[in-house]
Amino acid sequence: MKKSLMAVALVGAFAGVAHAQTAVQIYGTIDAGLQKRSNQTLSIGKRASNTLGFKGTEDLGNGLKALFQLEIRYEPDTGTNESGGRPLFQGQSRVGLQGDFGMVRIGRGLTPYQETVGAFEPFHALPHQAGFYTDLAVAGYTSAPLDPSVNSNNRWANAFWYNSPVVNGFQVNTAIATKENNGGPAIGTQYPVGAQASANPFSATATYNNGPAAVMLGYERNAVESKVMSIGATFNVTPELKLLALATRHKQDNIRFTLPAGSGPRTKAWVLGANYTMGPGKILAGYGRKEPDNSFETKQMSLGYEYSLSKRTYVYADASRKDGPQTQATRNVDAKINFYTIGVNHSF
């Protein structure tokens, strides 16, 4: 009898330990393909960011959970860290709590504005040249101008996030970052090498997603007090056809250094797009314009096709034409750039 009671007690104890353990998931994507850009040779490239991630949750009881997420970014053709010199956990490194109040996290990750705006451009936030996410969708704005130049420009380090619960389709997401020096380059004379931010970066979005329609409002101020504002909407006309629209305004009025050629103190941009699903295939199409004050405007037209081989693997082909200032070396020269890519994407 005593042995039976002891066995029951041990089973109960181990069950309690198992319940308290963190459930960890390993996930990632690998994307590689052939790409060709005007005036450049054929090369191996990527359409989506390649990631290796670890995330987990622990049930703390009473509806409260602890959570964490670490995400490495890498280059598929060489196996090296993404873009060379970026942080090990370039994608994100955050820890936090989740409950009825929503979710709070601390660390490094996408700003709420950058995380939200990508859902309202037709190439679903893919950071490649055929998409609109890194340029026209945000009107040339960068979230982290004082970070090292190799770092991603849509993430904050040393930041605090709050995501509200979703109530009847509505949600509010906010983040604020510290003024800590992140080791970035000099920007004119106002911000020397390794300068501290002149203001706490702040980002906020409000979204509504219920039924066939979704709407977003977004605002962000970065470390040098540039500001960006966006309004976007999507509408599922049919189960197969989705229409997208996004308008953005980028303000640099208060910046007291010489703006680069090809930009202005105020820039407005817009993107229109559509996704059409045909069985395992999907067509992505978009057109957009970016119009800086007193400078060259940028026009972009893109067309893409994805074909799902399984739930985790698809092949793709994209083509785009971009008319406007293209690179740092030719920002004050109007140029036409054609871009083509084919490849395969696998998630695990």
Q: Specify the CATH number for the domain of residue 282.
A: 2.40.160.10
For 13, the enclosing helix (H) or strand (E) is helix 2-20
Is residue 161 within 8 A of residue 94, CB to CB? The reply is yes
Is residue 134 within 8 A of residue 288, CB to CB? The reply is no
pLDDT of residue 259: 56
Per residue in 257-278, pLDDT (tens digit) is 555 555 568 999 999 999 999 9
CA dist 93 and 105 (Å) reads: 10
Full-model pTM: 0.86
**pLDDT over 70 at 142, yes or no:** yes
How many structural domains does the chain have?
1
In terms of pLDDT, which residue wins out, 261 or 37? Answer: 37
Question: Measured in Å, how far apart are the chain's first and last C-alpha atoms?
Answer: 49
**pLDDT over 50 at 9, yes or no:** no
Residue 267 within any structural domain of the chain: yes
Per the structure block, which two tokens stand in for 270? 């817009």
CA dist 284 and 33 (Å) reads: 18
**pLDDT over 90 at 160, yes or no:** yes
Please give the backbone phi and psi of residue 19, each rounded to the nearest 5 degrees, phi first.
-65, -35
Instruction: Identify which of 147, 229, 261 has the alpha carbon closest to the alpha carbon of residue 193.
Output: 147
pLDDT of residue 331: 47
pLDDT of residue 87: 81
pLDDT band at 22 (very low <50, low <70, confident <90, very high): confident
CA dist 339 and 342 (Å) reads: 11
CA dist 227 and 218 (Å) reads: 11
Report long-range pairs for 57-64 (Cβ below 8 Å, ≥24 apart).
57/22, 57/23, 57/98, 58/20, 58/21, 58/22, 58/23, 59/19, 59/20, 63/99, 63/100, 64/97, 64/98, 64/99
Facing residues of 37 across strands? 339
Mean pLDDT over all residues of the chain?
87
Per residue in 78-97, pLDDT (tens digit) is 888 887 667 888 899 999 99
Mapping DSSP to helix (H, G, I), strand (E, B) and coil, where does residue 16 land? Answer: helix
Residue 67 within any structural domain of the chain: yes
Per the structure block, which two tokens stand in for 155? 């993430």
**pLDDT over 90 at 136, yes or no:** yes
Is residue 208 within 8 A of residue 218, CB to CB? The reply is no
Residue 2 within any structural domain of the chain: no
pLDDT of residue 164: 98
CA 75 to chain centre: 17
With pLDDT > 70 as the criterion, what percentage of the chain qualifies?
84
Residue 270 within any structural domain of the chain: yes
Task: Give me the amino acid identity at 280.
Answer: P
CB burial string 268-298: b at 16+ within 10 A, e below = bbbbbbbbeeeeeebbbbbbbbbbbeebbbb
Residue 322 within any structural domain of the chain: yes
Residue 19 within any structural domain of the chain: no
Per the structure block, which two tokens stand in for 145? 């101008």
Domain containing 94: what range? Answer: 26-347
pLDDT of residue 267: 94
pLDDT of residue 10: 36
Per the structure block, which two tokens stand in for 172? 């509010």
Task: Give me the amino acid identity at 39.
Answer: N
DSSP 260: P
CA dist 76 and 31 (Å) reads: 7
- Average of per-residue pLDDT across 97-110: 97
Residue 10 within any structural domain of the chain: no
Instruction: Identify which of 172, 154, 152 has the alpha carbon closest to the alpha carbon of residue 162.
Output: 172
Residue 16 within any structural domain of the chain: no
Per residue in 171-216, pLDDT (tens digit) is 999 999 998 766 666 665 567 776 777 889 999 999 999 889 999 9
